[in-house]
Structure 1
Amino acid sequence: MTTKRPLFFLRLALLGDAAASAATGLAMAAGAGLLDGLLGLPEPLLRYAGLFLVPYGLCVAFVGTRERIARGAVLAIVAINVLWVIESLAILISGWVAPTALGTAFVLLQAAVVGGFAVAQWLGLRRDIGLSPA
C-alpha cells in the first residue's frame, strides 16, 4: 500500500537514515585499514559493513524521495535496521571481536542511532501514512 499524504516525519527519518548510512559506509569502506587498529575491529568487518551501507543508504534514499512511499519498503527498512542493532550487540557480546574502548563506543553509538531511525520510521508509518504498521 502507498500513500499520497505529506510524509514529512517519515521522509525525514528515511533521508536521515540514508545520509548517515551512506556517510558511515563510505568512511568504513575507505578507512577500514586506518580504523581497525583504532577501533580494534577487524579490517574485513569494517570494509564489508561499509560496502553494505553505501548501497543500502542509496536504496533508503530512493524510498524516501518517492512521491508515494511504499509501506512494505519502509517495513523492510525497519526490519533491516532492527537486525543491524541485534547483530551489532551480538558482535560485542559474542567475544568474536576484541574492540578497544573507542571501538565498543563506536558499535554502541551506531547501534543506538540505527535503532533510533528504526523507531522513527515505524512511528512515521503510523503518523504520516495513518496506518498501523502491524
Structure 2
Amino acid sequence: MSAIVRSSQSQLLRRAIQLDAIATAAMAALLIAAAAPLSQWLHLPQNLLLGAGLVLVPYVAFLGWLLSRERISAPQAWSVIAINACWTIDSAILLLSGWVSPNALGLAFVIVQALAVAAFAELQYFGLRKQQRG
C-alpha cells in the first residue's frame, strides 16, 4: 500500500518532468535541425538558435536520467526548477538587452517558449510541494 501512496504523491512532479523532457527534446531537435530557416523567419541569429538547441541536449539527458529513478529527490527537483527559471529569465534578458532584434514572429517565439518553460517550472514546484507534504 505504501508503494501506491508514494507513487501517487510524486505523480505530478514526475509528469511535469516527463512533459518537460518531451517538449525540450522536440525544441532541441527543431533548433538543431532548422536553425538556418528559423533564423531567417524569426530574425534571430542562427548560432544562437543552434547553440540553444545543443545546450538542451544534455538537459534532456538529465531529465531522462531523473525519470529512470524510482524517486526524484527534492534537490534533484529543485535543480530542474532552477534550470527552468534560469532559462525563463535568460529569455527575458535576451529580449530586453537589445542583443538581438527579432521580428514580431521571433519575439513571439521567444516569449511563448519562455512562458512554456515557466509553466513547467511551476508545475514541477507544485509537484515537489505535493511530494514533500505526502
TM-score using structure 2 length: 0.91
Q: CA contact under 8 A between 1:63 and 1:70: conserved in structure 2? A: no
Give the partner amino acid of 2:30: A
Q: CA contact under 8 A between 1:22 and 1:55: conserved in structure 2? A: no
Count residues with an aligned counterpart: 129
The percent identity for this pair of structures is 43
**Please, which of 109, 114, 117 is the counterpart of residue 114 of structure 1?**
117
Paired position in structure 2 for 1:93: 96
- Unaligned 5+ runs, structure 1: none
How far did residue 58 of structure 1 move?
Answer: 2.1
For residues 83-130 of structure 1, the C-alpha deviation after alignment (integer angstroms, 9 at most, x for no partner) is: 000000111111110101110000000000000000110111111232
- Unaligned 5+ runs, structure 2: none
Give the partner amino acid of 2:122: V
The structure where helix makes up a greater share of residues is 2
Question: Which stretch of the first structure deviates more once superposed, 113-122 or 51-60?
Answer: 51-60
Paired position in structure 1 for 2:55: 52
Paired position in structure 2 for 1:29: 32
User: Which whole-Å CA distance do the structure 2 matches of 1:105 and 1:112 have between them?
Assistant: 10
Q: CA contact under 8 A between 1:11 and 1:65: conserved in structure 2? A: no
Runs of 4+ more than 6 Å apart: none
Paired position in structure 2 for 1:5: 6
RMSD: 1.6
How far did residue 70 of structure 1 move?
Answer: 1.7
The answer to which structure, 1 or 2, has the higher relative contact order (CA under 8 A, 6+ apart) is 2
How far did residue 72 of structure 1 move?
Answer: 0.7
Give the partner amino acid of 1:67: E
